[in-house]
């Protein structure tokens, strides 16, 4: 039995999807911790107290729990969290000592947590595995208007040198680490993310639309993610405006909260200017268990991001039998099969997106062959497969650590 400490300073697994700092990483942590617990291992997810009503400990299931630690004000911005990392480490260490818990390995998530993982690995003399989920330099390269603090770039570079291993979701990210940070490929393990195949499954389209209050006779394009410029949603609005004879098409954007108000306002203004304001709907953030209905209600799901480390929403869509039109970035490049379960768009042209969407929706009726291909793709990518690979990697890292200590 292994006892694993999973670190997520800024993101709580219980945050609603589409809210500030809430996305695929939160789902990843929740599912990995639960699956580790089901296997008989113990998994503790450490995160900040994000709300004064957060209980200290929340049970995720057998052998798995989330532990909320005080580390700075509840409403602190992600940009301001770096200065609270020492307090996060101190609070975590105090909790660990009270419980007398001995960990076999620390797995940190995102650069803020990775900085804490480096120190805890040293204090406990256990291996440190790091997963960045997104990389500062890769984001700025994908969209030059993106800005990331130099402190993040420096921290990521330091972690690549000090961590025992870096786990990534795609071969592309392994290449980015080698190219942008000089990391030897042998130090990086590729473990694709997964999907909950019980939650994300095909549902009846008419019933899903009725439940969500969406019109039965419309073509529905859907996206579910945080709303920020890096997600590139403007290109879908522009594509919607040039799709001839498709006035019955609606674009449903699932996600967003007060932190994304300015980007939502920009997108709404663009839609109004292009004459499609009444065909673009913002739902706000929703619970994860509500997402399958949105995916199932859609004729096609879109993922036009400038940059994605994995693109979990695309895989969730496929699991629900919904074809995907995605930018040629990150994870979708490894599981979207052209013309079978969706299309990859190689540029940011609205015409290219419009053509790809047209190829999927056809006459607007369900396409059983494409829906079946979508579900088949996801069927081999459940979280049990992810944890199989993670555990094998954890075991190898721990064994290497013991062998190194024995030879010292």
Categorize the per-residue pLDDT at 190 as very low, low, confident or very high, splitting at 50, 70 and 90: very high
Domain ranges of the chain: 3-192+382-407, 205-379
Sign of the torsion angle spanned by Cα atoms 321, 225, 136, 345: positive
| 3-state secondary structure at position 384 | helix
Residues pairing with 326 in the sheet: 303, 344
**What pLDDT is recorded for position 323?**
97
User: Mind listing the pLDDT tens digit for each residue in 192-204?
Assistant: 999 999 999 999 9
CA 158 to each of CA 137, 219, 265: distance values in angstroms, whole numbers, following the listed order: 14, 48, 38
- Kindly report, residue by residue over 39-70, the tens digit of the pLDDT: 999 999 999 988 788 889 999 999 999 999 99
- Structure confidence at residue 21 (pLDDT): 57
Q: Residue 365: pLDDT band by 50, 70, 90 thresholds? A: confident
- Assign 180 a pLDDT band (cuts: 50, 70, 90): very high
Q: How much is the pLDDT for 52?
A: 80
Mean pLDDT within 312-337: 95
**pTM, 2 dp:** 0.90
Mean pLDDT for the chain? Answer: 92
Q: Say whether pLDDT at 18 is over 60.
A: no
What's the rounded mean pLDDT across residues 145-164? 94
Return the pLDDT at 270: 98
Say what the pLDDT of residue 181 is. 93
Per the CATH hierarchy, to which homologous superfamily does domain 205-379 belong? Glycogen Phosphorylase B; (3.40.50.2000)
CATH classification for the domain delimited by 3-192+382-407, as one of 3.40.50.300, 3.10.20.30, 3.40.50.2000, 3.40.190.10:
3.40.50.2000
State percent of the chain over pLDDT 70.
97
């Amino acid at each position: 039995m292994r006892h694993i400490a999973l670190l997520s300073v800024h993101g709580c697994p219980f945050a609603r999807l589409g809210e500030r700092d809430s996305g695929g990483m939160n789902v990843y942590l929740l599912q990995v911790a639960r699956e580790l617990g089901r296997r008989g291992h113990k998994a503790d997810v450490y995160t900040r107290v994000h709300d004064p009503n957060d209980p200290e400990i929340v049970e995720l299931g057998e052998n798995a729990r989330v532990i909320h630690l005080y580390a700075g004000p509840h409403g602190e911005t992600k940009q301001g969290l770096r200065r609270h990392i020492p307090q996060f480490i101190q609070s975590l260490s105090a909790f660990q000592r009270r419980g007398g818990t001995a960990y076999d390995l620390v797995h940190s998530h995102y650069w803020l947590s990775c900085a804490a993982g480096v120190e805890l690995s040293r204090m406990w003399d256990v291996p440190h595995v790091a997963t960045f989920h997104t990389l500062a330099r890769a984001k700025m390269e994908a969209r030059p208007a993106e800005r990331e603090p130099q402190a993040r770039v420096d921290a990521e570079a330091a972690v690549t040198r000090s961590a025992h291993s870096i786990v990534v979701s795609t071969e592309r990210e392994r290449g980015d680490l080698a190219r942008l940070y000089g990391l030897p490929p042998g130090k990086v393990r590729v473990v694709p993310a997964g999907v909950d195949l019980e939650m994300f499954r095909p549902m009846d389209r008419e019933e899903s639309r009725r439940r969500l209050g969406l019109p039965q006779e419309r073509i529905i394009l859907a996206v579910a993610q945080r709303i920020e410029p890096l997600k590139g949603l403007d290109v879908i609005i522009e594509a919607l405006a040039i799709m001839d004879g498709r006035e019955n098409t609606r674009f449903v954007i699932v996600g967003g909260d007060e932190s994304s108000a300015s980007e939502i306002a920009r997108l709404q203004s663009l839609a109004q200017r292009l004459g499609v304001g009444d065909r673009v709907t913002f739902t706000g953030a929703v619970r994860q268990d509500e997402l399958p209905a949105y995916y199932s209600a859609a004729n096609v799901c879109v993922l036009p991001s400038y940059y994605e480390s994995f693109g979990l929403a695309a895989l969730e869509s496929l699991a629900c039998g919904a074809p995907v039109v995605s930018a040629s970035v990150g994870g979708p490049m490894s599981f979207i099969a052209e013309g079978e379960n969706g299309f990859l768009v190689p540029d940011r042209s609205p015409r290219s997106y419009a053509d790809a969407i047209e190829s999927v929706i056809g006459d607007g009726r369900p396409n059983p062959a494409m829906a079946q291909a979508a579900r088949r793709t996801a069927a081999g990518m459940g979280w049990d497969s992810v944890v199989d690979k993670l555990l094998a990697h954890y075991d190898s890292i721990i064994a290497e650590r013991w062998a190194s200590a024995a030879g010292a």
